[in-house]
Structure 1
Amino acid sequence: MRTAELQRTEPEIASPDRGVWSAVGAMAMCVSMLIASEFMPVSLLTPIASDLGATQGMAGQAISISGLFAVFTSLFMSVIAGRIDRRYVLIGLTSLMLASLILIAEAPSFLVLMIARAVLGIAIGGFWALSTATVMRLVPSDTVPKALGIIFTGNAIATAFAAPIGSYLGGIIGWRGVFWGLVPLVLINLLWQWISLPSMPPKSAGSVRQLFALLRRRHVAFGMMAVMLTFAGAFSAFTYFRPFLETYTHATTPQLSLFLLGLGVAGFAGTYAGTALVNERMYALLRWLPLLLAAVTLLMLLFGHLKPGVAVAMICWGGLNAAIPVAWSTWLSRSVSDDPESGGGLLVAAIQLSIMVGGALGGLLLDHVCIAATFMGAAALLVLGALIVGNGTRLRG
């Protein structure tokens, strides 16, 4: 009886005439809010540190702590939510994001900020872990790439506008006001999800053993290793762009906003290009994107005192970085198609763990050496990630 119910449900969910694209749009907006919330401290690092009595390196750990909790949530999400309708799980995770934003905006101390960021990490890890599998249930199989493209457009929008708007508004209404500004947007998204998401009964309860069993597949193990090195390298640099622009480039606040806007807008081009190329050149993208990103990161140091040079480098950086998750998500959908929820949880855990490690490593190098060391360490990690990918043979199932 249960199997029959599921067989009836999935075609109904997959029908494009039942407003599923609205549901995909609601998920894309939630992704935008999650990305904006997770990385907003990048553009507000200096005022947050000053207000809460922390170093910039310590404030950078606010990103790392959300990554830590996202790791554990993504690993256990299929177990925790294994018997709950996915619709209510996604809405519940979005509600957690709302609670964390309010707590961040009112944080009286660095400790409370870190607690709020931990709550945000739970929302991030859970939502991302279920996103690919949810999309595969919402739309017909031949339109999954299009739906994933919409999801990553939400990512690109947040990357494009969150940092520069956060930096600009932070100078006007303060960093707390910026986080309060996200609250009504998340409320709108909650309403949209409630209206558009269909019922998605769980197919089966997952297990942690099932998730880690994927790592016994050689191509998955190499893939996760390359993912971690690539994303750790990217976020070692990205987390500390504001200190770099302030101390190395000596950018003013308006200039800082423009630099970050250029980086973010380039993400649209990177997402589009990555989506266009990934079907035919997936393994080439997985190899060359981190290599090129490493080169651009070092060029930012080379041209660090020349504002036009830094502007061009940041635009290139934003485009290259935006294409990386498109390539890895496509690899996941092809390599772990038999268990997308466990595969999605594993991929999200690897990415979030790398964000945590990358942010921590970058902060240590910044506090104890210099910003140049942070960027050179980031470039080294990116190169190592590309070397793991190689010609793609290790990643083929």
Structure 2
Amino acid sequence: MTTNDSHDTRPTGASRGAWSAVFSLTLGVFSLVMAEFLPASLLTPMADSLAISEGQAGQAVTVTAVVALLSGLLVTSATQRLDRRHVLLGFSGLMIAANLLVAYSPDLIWLLAGRVLLGVALGGFWALSAATVMRLVPEHDVPRALSLLFTGVPIATISAAALGSYLGDLVGWRNVFLLATAISVATLIFQYVTLPSMTPERPTPLGTLVSVMKRPGMMVGIVAILLVFCGHFAFFTYIRPFLEGVSHMGINALSSTLLAFGVANFVGTLAAGYLLERSLRLTLVLMPLIMGSLGWLLATLGGFSLGTDALMVALWGFAFGAVPVAWSTWITRVVPDEAESGGGLIVASIQLAIALGAAVGGVVFGIGGVLAVCATAGTLLLVAAALVLAGVRTRPVPAGEGDTVVASCQ
């Protein structure tokens, strides 16, 4: 491995990579994320069919995010004595049940019940994902395996937005969720065939979350995660008003730009593995630095050229593609002995940042318009880059040293 900021501290090693199992987890990411965001592209027909408002239907996305936050925090302690293979298969089973409940829901209550089940599966899966990858591949392959895992996110996001709305008009929204159910079944079968037995190494009570947070540099890292994701979602929530109101894009140019964002995000996710093999710290700093600079460029030069605006949006997508991979790799490096609890903290932080980003963006948009949103998002991201550079550790601190070791860059 060419990086200088890590060494082999994995609790469980793998002499050879179980790449088929990693692929099965990638399919799990695709299935979960697509199911999470399908309601966003099907709000109107869902609301009409269930005789509810679009605002009420929109709570199908909100409730999933809230439950995912709680699930991510609690899953490690709640399943501390269970084989990780069985837990992951259980989450895929919950995903199947969730999609079926939504597909056949007669009213809002059943719809929300299905989305609660999906939230449990989503948060729990993400919390365990990085720690699971650590046990499937050799340490030097972990960044590349995580980048493969996260490629499911942009593919699922594009599929949910584009295919969801198209197929919804073609075959109806309920059949779209039945299709999602079929994909979930395929995911469960693939994981059943490929995932090895992974017994828990030791009990991880709920208090482990607190002890992990007390380790030097962890709090700084969590704050940096909040800033990065809050800045991104503040911008991304209002990307369409920017492209329509500032860039003056028509529907074709708008669709092409959003597609370019998704493709660039996919490429950035793949590139993250190679970047992280060279330097974790550089990747953690560089990506929010690029995004923050683009935020201010969009705020000051936005609307000058349609092509330039589209290029900057695509570059933002590329840079953000590496962000989840980098922070997942970070947690496997700094707390390799408690990667599951650390993963739960990251899941909770990201879900909170999504809500905060949309809220902050909404307030700023109401006060200063979409250009002010770009500037605010850019500022949050630049602060995050400075925080990573100044105070985020990339080397592990053994348990018990949290009270004696001063957080510093190493």
TM-score calculated relative to the size of structure 2:
0.80
Residues 273-284 of structure 1 correspond to what in structure 2 (within 5 A)?
Answer: 273-284=271-282
User: In structure 2, how many angstroms separate the alpha carbons of the residues matched to 1:181 and 1:252?
Assistant: 31
1:126 to 124, 127, 138: 124
- The answer for the alignment partner of 2:260 in structure 1 is 262
Counterpart in 2 of 1:226? 224
Tell me, what secondary structure is at the counterpart of 1:339?
helix
Pair 1:78–1:137, CA change in 2 (3 A) = same
Match of 1:153 among 140, 151, 154: 151
1:135 corresponds in structure 2 to 133
Q: Which residue of 1 aligns with 2:283?
A: 285
Could you tell me whether the CA contact under 8 Å between 2:365 and 2:373 is conserved in 1?
yes
Which residue number in structure 2 is paired with residue 314 of structure 1? 313
1:1-397 pair list within 5 angstroms: 14=14, 16=16, 20-41=18-39, 43=41, 52-55=52-55, 62-106=60-104, 113-170=111-168, 172-173=170-171, 176-242=174-240, 244-245=242-243, 255-300=253-298, 302-303=301-302, 307-363=306-362, 370-391=369-390, 397=396
Rounded Cα–Cα distance in structure 1 between residues aligned with 2:279 and 2:290: 16
Opposite residue 89 of structure 1, the aligned amino acid is V
Report which stretch shifted further, 278-287 or 28-37. 278-287
- Note if contact 1:220-1:395 (Cα within 8 Å) is conserved in structure 2: no
Larger deviation: 347-356 or 137-146? 137-146
1:351 deviates by: 1.6
Q: What do residues 35-68 of structure 1 show as CA deviations (whole Å, max 9, x unaligned)? A: 222334555567767884235xx77665443222
- Return the structure number with greater helix share: 1
Superposed CA deviations along residues 180-212 of structure 1, whole A, max 9, x for unmatched, are 432211111111111211222222221111121
- Tell me if the contact between 2:298 and 2:371 (Cα under 8 Å) persists in the aligned partners: no
Query: How far apart are the structure 2 equivalents of 1:309 and 1:281?
Result: 30
Compared CA separation, residues 259 and 115, structure 1 to 2 (3 A):
farther
Deviation at 1:288, TM superposition (A): 2.8
Q: Which moved more, 1:58-67 or 1:339-348?
A: 58-67
In 2: Cα distance, 1:252 partner to 1:170 partner: 23
Of 130-139 and 171-180, the range deviating more from structure 2: 171-180
SS in 2 for 1:151: helix
Contact 2:302 2:309 in 1 (8 A): yes
The farther-off stretch of 366-375 and 115-124 is 366-375
- SS of 2:196's partner is coil
TM-superposed deviation, 1:332: 1.4
The CA distance in 2 between the partners of 1:368 and 1:117, in whole Å, is 33
Decide which moves more: 367-376 or 94-103.
367-376
Does the 8 Å contact 1:65/1:118 carry over to 2?
Answer: yes
Q: Give unmatched runs, 5+ long, in structure 1.
A: 1-9
Cα distance 1:188–1:393, how it changes in 2: closer, same or farther (>3 A)? closer
Q: Does the residue aligned with 1:202 lie in a helix, a strand or coil?
A: coil
User: For residues 96 and 350 of structure 1, do their structure 2 counterparts lie closer, same or farther at Cα, with a shift above 3 Å needed?
Assistant: same
Question: Deviations along 1:83-131, whole A, 9 cap, x unmatched?
Answer: 1121111111112222323344455666655544333221111001111
> Counterparts of 2:189 and 2:349 in 1: how far apart (Å)?
31
Could you say if the C-alpha distance between residues 337 and 264 of structure 1 is closer, same or farther in structure 2, counting changes exceeding 3 Å? Answer: same
Amino acid at match of 1:343: G
Deviation track 1:332-376 (CA, whole Å, cap 9, x = no partner) reads: 121111221112222222122212322344455567875555444
Check 1:137–1:281 CA distance in 2 against 1; reply closer, same or farther (3 A cut).
closer
Shift of 1:269: 2.1
Partners in 2 of 1:144 and 1:190 — Cα distance?
23
Q: 1:186 to 1:305 in 2, by over 3 A?
A: farther
Q: Which amino acid aligns with 1:202?
A: P
Q: Is the 8 A contact 1:101 1:179 kept in 2?
A: yes
- Give unmatched runs, 5+ long, in structure 2: 1-11, 397-410
CA distance in 2, matches of 1:59, 1:369: 29
The CA RMSD over aligned residues, in Å, is 3.3
Query: Distance in 1 between the 2:389 and 2:64 partners?
Result: 31
Q: Deviations over 1:141-169 (max 9, x none)?
A: 34333322321233343345443333544
Q: How many aligned positions are there?
A: 382
Q: Deviations over 1:287-308 (max 9, x none)?
A: 2312321333454565359653
Asked whether the equivalents of residues 160 and 266 of structure 1 are also in contact (C-alpha less than 8 Å), the reply is: no
- Give yes or no for contact 2:288–2:382 (8 Å, CA) kept in 1: yes
**2-structure distance, mates of 1:44, 1:115:** 18
Q: What is the CA distance between 1:281 and its match in structure 2?
A: 3.1
Question: Do 1:289 and 1:320's aligned partners in 2 also have CA atoms closer than 8 Å?
Answer: yes
Tell me how far apart the structure 1 counterparts of residues 65 and 354 of structure 2 sit (CA, whole Å): 6
CA contact (8 A) 1:45 1:242 kept: no
Paired-residue identity, %: 42
* TM-score of the aligned structures, taking structure 1 as reference length: 0.82
- The answer as to whether partners of 1:79 and 1:206 remain within 8 angstroms in 2 is yes
Q: Which moved more, 1:302-311 or 1:196-205?
A: 302-311
